[in-house]
Chain A
């Protein structure tokens, strides 16, 4: 079956612009996660959805970052007024449910470059 997909695979934008990154989880997975991987670092947790609601958004760096999952499937990570420091690979993962028992399956990521 299809895995987690993310679009676009690469996004180049200018400082100050708005961007949207999309994640399509594995069908039937109710839990969805966003992570950010800066160059030379491991992924860092941003936000977690259980169904349509954001159950934990404690990892979002500031209020320029926002994510939605309106129908409990596809999620969009939105970044306003992008800064050069936002350049990173944004990873999405999904799992059947949240919690220790369920493996998170990762997508290939979106590489965001802010010029």
Chain B
């Protein structure tokens, strides 16, 4: 079945550092791809998405590009802030069902 593998954490960075979280997927079709974020004490929120190959999703300074040839959807941000500290989940969606990776905990130090 469909599955997502993402970089294990935890990841600890200093403010203004670059962040990359790797995500690869396995799917029989052409799913939509997502990054969700879970801030401390809050529920899951959609961060960005891409629905077809070569699409780039972006939001809050984060970007990810849907790469069909490498079955990847890596999350990147050029300069992180303390407020970016959260758990990040890569996910794919086949019709209505979301399949998530295990999550990557990111801590940004001032």
Q: A: which residues have CB within 8 A of B? A: 3-4, 31, 33, 35, 40-45, 48, 55-56, 91, 93, 95, 98-100, 103-104, 106-109
Establish whether residues A44 and B42, one from each chain, have CB atoms under 8 Å apart when the complex forms. Answer: no
Establish whether residues B95 and A100, one from each chain, have CB atoms under 8 Å apart when the complex forms. Answer: yes
Establish whether residues A31 and B100, one from each chain, have CB atoms under 8 Å apart when the complex forms. Answer: no
Establish whether residues B32 and A100, one from each chain, have CB atoms under 8 Å apart when the complex forms. Answer: yes
Contacts of A107 in B (CB 8 A): 43
Q: B: which residues have CB within 8 A of A? A: 4, 32, 42-46, 51, 89, 91, 93, 95-103
Q: Quick one: closest B residue to A45, CB to CB?
A: B97
Known: A43-B89, A100-B93. 5 other contacts (CB 8 A): A4-B43, A56-B97, A91-B43, A93-B44, A99-B95
Establish whether residues B99 and A45, one from each chain, have CB atoms under 8 Å apart when the complex forms. Answer: yes
Partner of A104, one of B4, B98, B101: B98
Q: Which of A99, A106, A108 has the most CB of B within 10 A?
A: A106
Please report the C-alpha to C-alpha distance between residue A106 and residue B36 in the assembled complex, in whole angstroms.
10
Contacts of B93 in A (CB 8 A): 100
Partner of A108, one of B42, B89, B102: B42
Please report the C-alpha to C-alpha distance between residue A109 and residue B44 in the assembled complex, in whole angstroms.
9
Establish whether residues B103 and A108, one from each chain, have CB atoms under 8 Å apart when the complex forms. Answer: no
Q: Quick one: closest A residue to B6, CB to CB?
A: A42
Establish whether residues B43 and A108, one from each chain, have CB atoms under 8 Å apart when the complex forms. Answer: yes
Contacts of B43 in A (CB 8 A): 3-4, 91, 106-109
A7 to chain B, nearest CB (A): 14
Establish whether residues A106 and B44, one from each chain, have CB atoms under 8 Å apart when the complex forms. Answer: yes
5 closest residue pairs by CB, A with B: A42-B100, A106-B44, A98-B96, A108-B43, A106-B43
